Structure 1
Amino acid sequence: MKQPRILFFDLDRTLLNSEGIVSDKTLEALQKAHDSGYLLGLNTGRDVSSVLSLLSEWKLENLIDVIVGTGGAEIYDRNWNRKQSAYPLKGELIQEIIDHYSDLDVNFAIPYEGILYTPKDDRHIQSLSKADHVPYQVVNFDEFLHEPKPKVMIVCNPEQMEDVIQRAKTFSNQQYRSATLKTASILYEYMDPRIGKPFGIQMAIEPFGLTLVDVCAFGDADNDHDGIAQYIQTQLLIH
């Protein structure tokens, strides 16, 4: 098997421990990998701007080369200051998704430019903001959704997640495409079906002349599993 040249890490519950920090032992291992010539990347559902604002707090400021954010919808190459995004959801589709859950005790959040934008203030958005150390802002979604946005997240209590998943099965739109995924015990996300962590990784590594066989990825959620599964399939095709 080919030796990887770039290592990608999910953040929450993977690189970040239960206290929301990177342990000294993990930092030491990352430093050794970086000193050995590996490129290091983050591959997360958080948006790039919020990740950049927290790198110093996580003590990752001098270690991370590439950020794949918003579940693969945007990338930022810190070495070359290269930013790229793809396939946002149309505002009218996001509003239709929100209306589909109007009778459930949930809230909605759109991570964008380092802020969690939400249509209302409640315990759900407060809990998410506190856990992720990302500020939130209540805005008029009729105005906010005039332009496409990368994704929309449903925020709920863990006990409500099964109701959210079952409700998602009854949503359809013939004009627009979207894909859904549970990404945490309190988060269920909608984004364009072409978007995913493997897509984001490929978008990030192509300028380096790398492919998925040059990547080793770590994560804990379903979207991380998809990325690792695609990596394994690529390896099998080559070998």
Structure 2
Amino acid sequence: MENIQLVICDIDSTLVTTDRRLTWKTKEVIDRLHAHGVLFGIASGRPLDELKRNAKKWGFSYPFDILIGMNGSELWDEKRQEEFGYYKLKSEWIKEIIELMEPFDANYFIYHDGYLLCRRNDAMMQHSAKSSDKEIVVMDTPEQLYQKENAKIMFRVTEEVMPSIERYVAQHPSPFYKGFKTQSTLMEFADHRVSKAFALKKYCEMNQLSFASVVAFGDTSNDNDMLACSGLGVCMCNGSADTKAIADDITKKSNDEDGFAWYMEEHFLKPFGW
């Protein structure tokens, strides 16, 4: 791959370490890409209000070129200084999803008016609140979660039960929404048309970029479409089996070993003389 124009990365378990640090080596690689005119962006299940803070928080003197939030339901184009919103779950679908997942007694929650509105406040929810820098609000009734449309609803579960949930969700398909794993303890539901790939394609079309010129990094199921549609899709060696299966390549080092940075340096920066 010679004509690289855009590098886009998932965040958790991909770009940052397990304790959510962006290392100096990763920052150096992104700076070198930026210096040579390569666009850079992040794609996450987190909302845009969080993603917009990351460049400054990580010490960059420039904003990222593209931000994909809520697994593709939100898109920020830095060049245009414009935000785009796409398909959301209808209220009745959210209600149906809650009922569908009831057998697992999972802790479900949504992003709501700048805070996390959840079923109960437990250790997993406190972890989510800390990583997103958002306040926890416990619902009075489930109806609060489906009073209006939302980009997604999330379910915190244990790692042990996740395989059973994945099978269960696959056995109960819907023509309107889809369920997918975004972490080993997090199952999410969104409109079936939404994906990181969907938002990436929109960005590329608006900016006359070829998908073949995109390098994408990810680690788990919600990254699969993005890796598949890019010119080069790379899965972290710490990634899930399904993502490794669809990836064009797999890093030799994990997210805790600067896997992204080492891959970019060995496959692009050194060969290009950057």
TM-score by length of 1: 0.86
- C-alpha distance in 1 between matches for 2:128 and 2:225: 24
* Aligned-partner Cα distance in 2 for 1:169–1:142: 26
- Provide the C-alpha distance between the structure 1 equivalents of 2:202 and 2:121, rounded to a whole number of angstroms: 35
1:52 counterpart = 2:56 = no
Instruction: Give the distance between the partners of 2:184 and 2:60, measured in 1 at CA.
Output: 26
Written as runs of structure 1 = structure 2, the 5 A alignment for 1:81-230 is 81-112=81-112, 114-140=114-140, 141-173=142-174, 177-230=176-229
Comparing 103-112 with 86-95, greater Cα deviation is found at 103-112
Equivalent-residue separation in structure 1 for 2:171 and 2:163 (angstroms): 13
RCO higher in structure (CA 8 A, sep ≥6): 1
Provide closer, same or farther for how the CA distance between residues 160 and 130 of structure 1 changes in structure 2, counting only shifts above 3 A: farther
Alignment of 1:12-23 (within 5 A): 12-23=12-23
Q: Contact 1:101 / 1:167 at 8 angstroms: preserved in 2?
A: no
Contact 2:156 2:187 in 1 (8 A): yes
Counterpart contact for 1:91–1:146, Cα < 8 Å: yes
2-structure distance, mates of 1:105, 1:53: 34
Q: Structure 2: how far apart are the matches of 1:113 and 1:230?
A: 33
Is residue 40–residue 63 contact of structure 1 (8 Å, CA) maintained in 2? no
- Residue 172 of structure 1 and its aligned partner are, at CA, apart by 4.7
Shift of 1:91: 1.3
Question: Which has the higher mean CA deviation after the structures are superposed, 1-10 or 32-41?
Answer: 1-10
| Counterpart for residue 259 of structure 2 | none
Q: Percent of pairs identical after alignment?
A: 26
Distance in 2 between residues matched to 1:168 and 1:133, nearest whole Å:
30
> Do the aligned partners of 1:47 and 1:112 also contact (CA within 8 Å) in 2?
no
Q: Figure out how many residues of one structure are paired with residues of the other and give that number.
A: 232
Is contact 2:90-2:148 (8 Å) kept? Answer: yes
Structure 1: gaps of 5 or more residues: 234-239
Contact 1:31 1:63 in 2 (8 A): no
Query: 8 Å contact 1:157–1:186 — kept in the other structure?
Result: yes
Residue 47 of structure 1: how far off its partner (Å): 1.2
CA distance in 1, matches of 2:113, 2:212: 31
SS in 2 for 1:75: strand
Q: 1:148-189: CA deviations, max 9, x gaps?
A: 11111111121221232233244355xx51112111111111
Counterparts of 2:155 and 2:229, CA distance in 1: 26
TM-score, length of structure 2 as denominator length: 0.76
Distance (Å, rounded) in 1 between the aligned partners of 2:114 and 2:210: 29
Unaligned regions of 5+ residues in structure 2, if any? 233-274
Higher normalized helix content (fraction of residues): 2
Kept in 2: contact 1:48–1:113 (CA 8 A): no
